[in-house]
Structure 1
C-alpha cells in the first residue's frame, strides 16, 4: 500500500513543475500593450452670427373692447310714446338720424301756437305805440302853433287893456285860453316822454314771448328722439304707447364708428415703447394730439377667432390715470376706427363690447445694435465660438429683452458667432464644430423688424 501511495505522489510533482515552467515562459515572452494617443472630439453646436439691426420696441397687453362713445336716449319732455322705430331692439344697427321715438306733440304744439299769438299781440302793441308817437308829435306841432297865436292875441289885448279899450274881464278870458293851450302842449309832451319807457316794456314782453315761443318750438322738436350717430342698440326701456317721464332713460346705444380697448401692459415693457425722440424739446402744451405725436406709438389689436387671428390697425389714444397695484400694469387705451365697415361675415367680425383682445404697441425704432436670440443668453453670459473654434464664455450687458431676442449694449461685436445650443457642461476652451442656423437668424431679424409674432 505504501508503495502505491509513493508512486502517485511521484507523478504529481513533475506535473506541477512542468506547469510552473510553462507559466514562466509565457510571462517572459508576452509583448507589452500597444499605446495609442487619445484624440480631442469636437462638439457640434448650432450658431448664428451676431447681426446689427434696428429694433422696434414692442409691448403686449390684453383687455376688453368697449365702444368709444356710449349714449343714452333721455326724454327731455314727458308724454305718451306714439311712435317707435320698427327695428328698435337690443343689438339692432341703426343709421345716424334714425327716428327712435316720437312723444305725443299735441300739448307742446298748443303751447307753440299760444306763444306765437302772444308774440303777435305784443308786436301789434308796439306798432300801435309807434303810431301813437307819430300822432302825438303831429298834435304837438299843431298845438304849438295854436299856442303861439293865442300868446300873440294875449299880447295885443294887454296893450288894449292898458289903453282902456277893452275890459279887464276880456283880458282875463284871453289869459285863460293861453293857459289852456300851454297845458295841452305840456300834456302832449308828457305823453311823448312816457313812450320810450312803454316801448322798452313792450320790447321786454316781446322778448319773453319770443323765448316762450322758442321754448315751445324746442319742446315740439324734443318730442322726436333721433340717433346722433350710427349706433348699435344696447338696451330699450319703454314700450309703444307707454308714458315717458321727463329725464327718463328710454334706450341706450353705442357708437359703431370707433371702438376702444384698455389693455393692461407691464410697466417694464411700456417703458421701452413710450420713448421721446432723440431730438426733442420740452413739451409746452399737454394736449392729447401733441402728446400722441410726441410719443409716436402705433398699435395693432388682435382677436383669436378659432384657428384664425383677426387684426385691426389701432391708434394710441391715452394712458390710464393709475397703476394696478397687484399686477403692476398700466392701462393703455387704443382706438380702432370703423371696425363695422371692415367686417366680413364668417371671416372678420366687428369689434363688439367685451371681446377679449390682445394689443401690441410699437414704438419708434432704436439705433442699430447687436441682437441675439434670447435663448443664447445665460444670465449675463453668452457662448462664443472664437477663431480657433473653441468655446469662449463672454460677459455682456443687455439693453433690454423682448420676445425671443435680447438687445446687447456692450460685450459683443457684429459678426461674432454665438452658440445657441444649450451646452452642458460649458467648459471654456472646449473644441466646437459650429453649424450655422440660418432659419433662427432669419427669425431673429424678423423679430427685430417687428414682423414676427410677439410673445
Structure 2
C-alpha cells in the first residue's frame, strides 16, 4: 500500500508544481506592469478650401441652343421662257459665288425680235401721227379757201336776187346761182366734217402708239431678263438646270443661301430669359408696339459658340446681335425663341480649326445683359442643395440657407444671408455638422476666377 500511495503523490506534484510556477510568474508580470498612459481628449479637424465672399458687379446671362440658318435665301426663277444657252461652270452645289456673277443665259433672239417689232410698230404710229398733222393742216387751208368761196357765192346770190327783183335777170340765172351756192356750202361742210374727225383719229393713233410703246418697254425689260446674275454673295444649295434645257416663266433654276449673314433661333428656357430682364422692362408687356422697343432697352449682347462633343472649350466663337424674339412660347418645352444674327459668318474661317458658321450647324447661343450693381457672388460649387457652408470666427462650420437672386451656370448671386468678406467653404465636408472644427485654406485663384465669371470676362462680348 505504501508504494502505491507514494506514486500517486508524485504524480500530483508533477502536475501541481508547473501550474503553481506559471501562476507565480503571471503574478510577477502583472505586478511589474507599468500604469497605462492617459492621453487628453482631441477633436477632429477637417481641411477645407475657402474664399472670402466678394461683392462684385455681375452680368445676368442665359444660354440656348439652335440650328444655324442663312439670314437670306434666294430662288432664281425664270422671268422669261426660253432655252438655256449658257450655264456658269461654277454653278454647283456648295459653290460660293460673288454678287454680279452671271449664272445662266437664256436665248435672247426671240426677245431681240420682239424689241425690233415693237420699235417698228411704234415708228409706224409716229408716222401716222405726222401724216395726220399734215392732213389736218391741208384740210384747214382748204377749208379757209372754200369758206371764202362760199362768201363770194353768197354775195353773188344776193346780187342775183336784187337783179331778179328789178327784172334784170331771169329766174333761171338766179336758180343756177342758188345751185352754185349750195354746192359750195356742201364743200365747206365736207371739209368741216373731215376736220372734226381728225381729233378722234388722232386719239386712236395715240392709243395705238402707247400700246406699241408698252410692248416695246416690255420687250426691252424682258431682254435683260434673259441673263440671270447673283444678286448678292451666295452659296449654291440646289442647281439642276442644264445647258440646252427649255425653261418656262416662273420655273426655278437655282436655290442659294446668302453668305453675308447667318441667324440662329436659340431656344432659351423661359425662366432663364426672364432672369436677364430688369423689372422696369415688364411695363411694356401689354403694348404690342413696345416689344420692338423692349429689345433695344434690354441691351443684350450675344455670342454663338460651337462646341465639340464632350468638350468644355468652344471650338469656334462668333459675335452676334439679338435681332428679334419669336412670336410664341413653345408649350412643350417652355422655351422662348431668341433670334441672333452673325454678320460675315465665313470671315476668318480656318477649317478644320475654325469652320464657318454654315446652315444646319447645331450651336450654343449665349445671351448677356448689361452689368448690374455689385452683389455677393459665389461659385456654384459653394452651393450644397440650398445651403452654403460658412467658416465662422472660431473656424467652425456654420450652415446658412441664403436667398438667391440669380443662378448662373457657374456662379450664383446672393440676395441675402451671406455678407461680403465671409469665408465660404468650396469643398464638401462629409458629414457636414454645424459647429465642427475646420482648417480653412484660402483659394485666391478660385476667387479671381469667380469675379471674372460673374463679370462675364470670358462669356460676354
Q: Distance in 2 between matches of 1:68 and 1:450?
A: 28
2:344 to 325, 335, 338: 338
1:258 to 258, 261, 279: 261
Q: TM-score, normalised by structure 1?
A: 0.87
Q: Distance in 2 between matches of 1:402 and 1:211?
A: 66
User: Is the Cα contact below 8 Å between 1:274 and 1:297 reproduced in 2?
Assistant: no
Q: State the match for 1:368 in structure 2.
A: 374
Q: State the match for 2:154 in structure 1.
A: 151
2:185 to 182, 185, 205: 182
1:116 is displaced (CA, Å) by: 0.8
Q: Does 1:45 align with 2:51?
A: no
1:402 is displaced (CA, Å) by: 0.9
| Structure-to-structure mapping, 1:14-413, within 5 angstroms | 35-273=38-276, 275=278, 286=289, 290=293, 292-304=295-307, 309-344=315-350, 347-413=353-419
Q: Specify the SS of the correspondent of 2:384.
A: coil
Q: TM-score, normalised by structure 2?
A: 0.86
Cα 1:76–1:33 change in 2 (3 A) is same
User: Is the Cα contact below 8 Å between 1:288 and 1:318 reproduced in 2?
Assistant: no
Cα 1:288–1:160 change in 2 (3 A) is farther
Where in structure 1 are there 5+ consecutive unaligned residues? none
Q: State the match for 2:445 in structure 1.
A: 439
Aligned length: 454
Q: Distance in 1 between matches of 2:291 and 2:192?
A: 66
1:403 is displaced (CA, Å) by: 0.9
User: Is the Cα contact below 8 Å between 2:268 and 2:338 reproduced in 1?
Assistant: yes
Q: Specify the SS of the correspondent of 1:193.
A: helix
Cα 1:210–1:19 change in 2 (3 A) is closer
- What RMSD over aligned residues (CA atoms) do the two structures have, in Å? 3.5
Deviations 1:374-409 (A, max 9, x none): 121223321122223222222211122111111112
1:313 is displaced (CA, Å) by: 0.9
Q: Specify the SS of the correspondent of 2:222.
A: helix
Deviations 1:309-334 (A, max 9, x none): 22111122223344445443333322
**Which 10-residue stretch deviates more, 17-26 or 354-363?**
17-26
Q: Distance in 2 between matches of 1:8 and 1:347?
A: 99
Cα 1:97–1:6 change in 2 (3 A) is closer
User: Is the Cα contact below 8 Å between 2:48 and 2:427 reproduced in 1?
Assistant: yes
1:424 is displaced (CA, Å) by: 1.8
Q: Distance in 2 between matches of 1:218 and 1:441?
A: 70
**Which 10-residue stretch deviates more, 106-115 or 352-361?**
352-361
Where in structure 2 are there 5+ consecutive unaligned residues? none
Deviations 1:411-430 (A, max 9, x none): 22222221112122222222
Q: Specify the SS of the correspondent of 1:333.
A: strand
Deviations 1:142-182 (A, max 9, x none): 33333333323333333322232222332333333333333
Cα 1:284–1:182 change in 2 (3 A) is farther
1:267 is displaced (CA, Å) by: 2.4
Q: State the match for 1:422 in structure 2.
A: 428
Q: Specify the SS of the correspondent of 1:90.
A: coil
Q: State the match for 1:448 in structure 2.
A: 454
Q: Distance in 1 between matches of 2:207 and 2:393?
A: 100
Q: Specify the SS of the correspondent of 2:445.
A: helix
Q: Specify the SS of the correspondent of 1:54.
A: strand
Q: Specify the SS of the correspondent of 1:367.
A: strand
Cα 1:194–1:294 change in 2 (3 A) is farther
